[in-house]
Structure 1
Amino acid sequence: MTTKRHRGDRLAFRAIPTAIIQQIALYIPDSKDFFSYLSCFQDAQGSGTLGDLQHFLKLSTQLDPTDLWPKLRLRQLTPSLAPSVRCITRFFTTIFVFEVYDVRLLEQCLHPQNVVDLFAQPSHDGLCAWLTAPLSILPVQRITFHAPDNVVSDLFVEQLGNMPNLVSLTLKESYMDMDSMDPLFAFIQVSSKLTWLSLSSLYVSNRTDRRIAVSRRMGARPPRGTLQGRNLEILTEWLRRCPVRLLMLGKWSMNQDDQPGAMALLHAIFASSTLENIMISCTPLCRFAAMTSFAVPNRMQSLDFIMVWLNDTAMASLATGLRHSSITSVTFQFETIHTT
């Protein structure tokens, strides 16, 4: 009886149109269930039944199956794996890329609908080759990057103008030339898709300043970057123009005469109808909160002010502005609160 039932099950499977079998697989949310389902059709005719889905089974013998479904996380890519990887990337939009640095090989695995999120970068020795491949041949959607020296930062910011799909940019712990700041903010100014921006711990030096180079070799850092008036204007315009979801600014200086630009930026932050997360750390922007108007109710979800300077008037203004908001997380870590 058991043998007849199993034979009947196999006949029933074969009666299902292959297109339906393949479509059902794409609606299975659990990785283990997904591969169990595919294995039901892994027989002599499995390749014809599963089509390109058979490559999931093939890759699961060499890669972690949980990295293959329901999201595709690439942690390894070799020429021998590439043909099968290309067959499965067509089932995804976003490819999450980790320790894969062969840009050309990765590009060969992509289809027109694919975008990539880059979560790792090579060691210092391989960075320049990775950037000059060039990196911008990939449809990069999200990238987290840190530049260990000025040469690398120059190469990176040169790539930004050729990344029209970029939605999220995180640049941190980077050493930059002053000249590199212009193309960085020029990209923010013209980007139509960027909605997630984190700029923190950028150490900026002048190319001609020999003392900086010497102090760097001795372990000292160049001064942290300064948000000039034009930079503040660009950030303000970006917040008004794009549906920004996150803004993080960490360890920036500001000039005393740029108060109008700082106030305009703060107003744009709290007037945004899309901004969900804001973090300002070690940046003298918050002191102008007392002169900022707040949208009521505010739609922000999280607000972090870390090591900032506030007086009691600014603190009271913030408390009033956030009173009727939908915020769920607030972190205040003050350098000092000045009372009047």
Structure 2
Amino acid sequence: MSLSALLLTRLELPVDIIVKIAFYIPDATDFFKFLEALRPCYMLGPLEHLYKLGLTYDRNELWPILVLKSSLVDSVDRYAFEEIVKCYSHVEVEEVWTNVEWLQKNISPWTKIDWIIRNSIPTAKVLDDLINVRITRLSFVFYDEVAPTWWSDILPRLPHLTSLEAYITSEEEEPSDFFECVAASNQIIDLEIDVSHYEMRAEDLVHLTQWFQKQPVRKFVCFSGDWKAANMNTRQAFYQIMFNCTTLETLKLSSCHLDYVDLTEIVFTMNSLELIDCELHLSQVETLASRLEGSKVTHFEYDDNRIIENDGMEYLLKAQSRTGIKYLRLQSTRLFGPRWPTLAQWIEKSTLEVLFLDGSYFPSNGVEILALAIQNNPTICELYLDYGTIRISDLRRLIESMTHPSRRVETKPIVWKKYYGKVPQSDDLKALKELAIKRGGEFIIVLQP
């Protein structure tokens, strides 16, 4: 019996307290280890059903958010799901449920519900029934042609909806009055859109501007926002209200056209800012770096291959120590060019806590320069490498620099994500992990297909 189980047994805590303790565990692996440790003590109560479901179902779909699929209503595990769903404060419902009565009967009226729709449209009856279900987040993806006005039917029927994610990838489908519906909403404060095959019109930007003016917007994410069709005045009005929104916590723009936008009056009040391939000119990057000074941004991600051969990246790194940025992610396939030694000097002088470098190739000479910069830096405690090609010896060098005895940071993990190419020998990876542990750090490899 584990020490935690033994202590809880002697305390003779009631089941409801055990359930509350368990639900404070954020990680699925740790959560089920906790259940397994307590199971011999017969203290799990309704969590016994969850433990048994974890033996046959994907545990990541059981915790921390319970994923509900319509097929479970007719499964042998229906009773187990009905017993545990009442314990959750947050669940995810996938696809269109025709048995809305089951949701109403078994889910607490205070539970937040994420509704995920993929290539299917709910009937009018289902929509009418869902009005009494507390759906707070809606995410839909359509790859085929669908009815262009369905969202004008569904959004007014979800009075608790605060978060909306829309991915429209069909070339046949146009968002029609989607942005008008968002602007008319009285509760949506989180919006994530992917309009890869749609050229946004001037009226779309006007509606988004109205949404920012009307709502205390908390999060805005836009992929492939092609708004060049709008005139410069309309675009600038949108930029001003978006970047200067005082309630905004997270802003992510990917493949959005920000060239020629005037950043001189931008305040950047959000905590997290991501600008991915937004076609900024060098002068804009210089202004961006200066405006980040004194801003509230603590998490910053930047990717634009156009500026790596000039002073753009240096502007950002040079300004970092005068900002509140603690998490910095830089992405470029040409990061380790002639200017890399200069950039590394600013990394060494930075006050960063997390450094994330993203690219496709990590040359040995670039590794050595980075290793020396990290070794002499007093604050960087996490290093992420999103590179496909790097030598085992270079990874060893980075582990040694992160865990150098002269560095007094508390945590020292090095995470390497590998997406393609030959997988390193297991013995090599084991040796790297053992080296990191021996030196008080941690080496993690994430293999992606």
TM-score using structure 1 length: 0.68
After TM superposition, give the deviation of residue 95 of structure 1 in Å: 0.3
Q: Specify the alignment match of 1:24 in structure 2.
A: 18
What is the CA–CA distance in structure 1 between the aligned matches of 2:306 and 2:190, rounded to whole Å?
A: 26
Q: Kindly provide the CA deviation profile for residues 69-97 of structure 1, in whole angstroms up to 9, marking residues without a partner as x.
A: 44423366232433332222221121034
> Is 2:91–2:112's contact at 8 Å kept on the other side of the alignment?
yes
- 1:114 paired with 2:111, answer yes
Correspondences of 1:167-186 after superposition (within 5 Å)? 167-172=162-167, 173-175=169-171, 180-182=175-177, 184-186=178-180
Give, in whole Å, the separation in 2 of the partners of 1:13 and 1:330: 47
Kindly tell me the number of residue pairs found equivalent between the two proteins. 285
Q: Aligned partners of 1:292, 1:232: CA distance in 2, in Å?
A: 21
Partner residue, 2:141: 146
By relative contact order (CA 8 Å, sep 6+), the higher-ranking structure is 1
Structure 1 residues 40 and 200: alpha-carbon distance in aligned structure 2, compared to 1, 3 A threshold: same
Alpha-carbon contact 1:263-1:291 (below 8 Å) kept:
no
Contact 1:169 1:198 in 2 (8 A): yes
Task: Supply the RMSD in Å over aligned alpha carbons.
Answer: 3.7
The aligned counterpart of 1:253 is: 227
Deviations 1:284-325 (A, max 9, x none): 3x2342265122x644422214153x4444333323212333
Separation in 1, partners of 2:48, 2:271? 45
How much does 1:27 deviate? 0.7
2-structure distance, mates of 1:66, 1:146? 21
Q: Secondary structure at the match of 2:304?
A: strand
State the identity as a percent: 18
Contact 1:153-1:175 within 8 A present in 2 as well: no
> What residue in structure 2 maps to residue 304 of structure 1?
275
Partner of 1:90: 86
CA contact (8 A) 1:298 1:322 kept: no
Q: Which residue of the partner structure matches residue 279 of structure 1?
A: 252
- Aligned partners of 1:336 and 1:276: how far apart in 2? 27
Would the aligned equivalents of 1:194 and 1:244 in 2 still touch at CA under 8 Å? no
Segments of structure 2 that go 5 or more residues without pairing to the other structure are 1-5, 26-30, 309-449
Measure the CA separation in 1 of the matches of 2:250 and 2:206.
20
CA contact (8 A) 1:298 1:327 kept: no
Aligned to 2:261: 289
Q: Is the 8 A contact 1:168 1:197 kept in 2?
A: yes
- Cα distance in 1, alignment partners of residues 152 and 33 from structure 2: 41
More helix by share: 1
Distance 1:111 1:287 in 2: 48
Structure 1 pair 69/37, CA: closer, same or farther in 2 (3 Å)? farther
1:36-55 alignment, distance < 5 Å: 36-41=37-42, 50=45, 52-55=46-49
The amino acid that maps onto 1:160 is L
Displacement of 1:181 in angstroms is 2.3
Distance 1:150 1:336, change over 3 A: farther
Counterpart of 1:287, as a letter, is: D
Structure 1: tracts of 5 or more residues without a match? 1-8, 204-223
Deviation per residue, 1:108-158 (Å, 9 max, x gap): 54221122224562xx5xx24x56563672533333322223324543453
| Normalised TM-score (structure 2) | 0.53
CA distance in 2, matches of 1:262, 1:274: 20
Q: What is the CA–CA distance in structure 2 between the aligned matches of 1:71 and 1:35, rounded to whole Å?
A: 19
Following TM superposition, by how much is the alpha carbon of 1:177 offset from its aligned partner in structure 2, in angstroms?
5.1
Does the C-alpha gap of structure 1 residues 156 and 252 become closer, same or farther in structure 2, counting only changes over 3 Å?
same
1:239 equivalent to 2:240? Answer: no
- What is the alpha-carbon distance in structure 2 between the residues aligned to residue 134 and residue 39 of structure 1? 44
Q: 1:265 to 1:253 in 2, by over 3 A?
A: closer
Q: CA deviation at 1:233?
A: 2.7
Shift of 1:54: 4.7
How has the CA–CA distance of structure 1 residues 289 and 189 changed in structure 2, closer, same or farther, with 3 Å as cutoff?
A: same
Does the CA contact (< 8 Å) of 2:89 and 2:110 recur in 1?
A: yes
Q: Is the 8 A contact 1:85 1:109 kept in 2?
A: no
Residues 171/192 of structure 1: CA separation in 2 closer, same or farther (3 Å cut): same
Q: Distance in 2 between matches of 1:167 and 1:72?
A: 19
Q: Relative to structure 1, is the Cα distance of residues 115 and 84 closer, same or farther in structure 2, using a 3 angstrom cutoff?
A: same
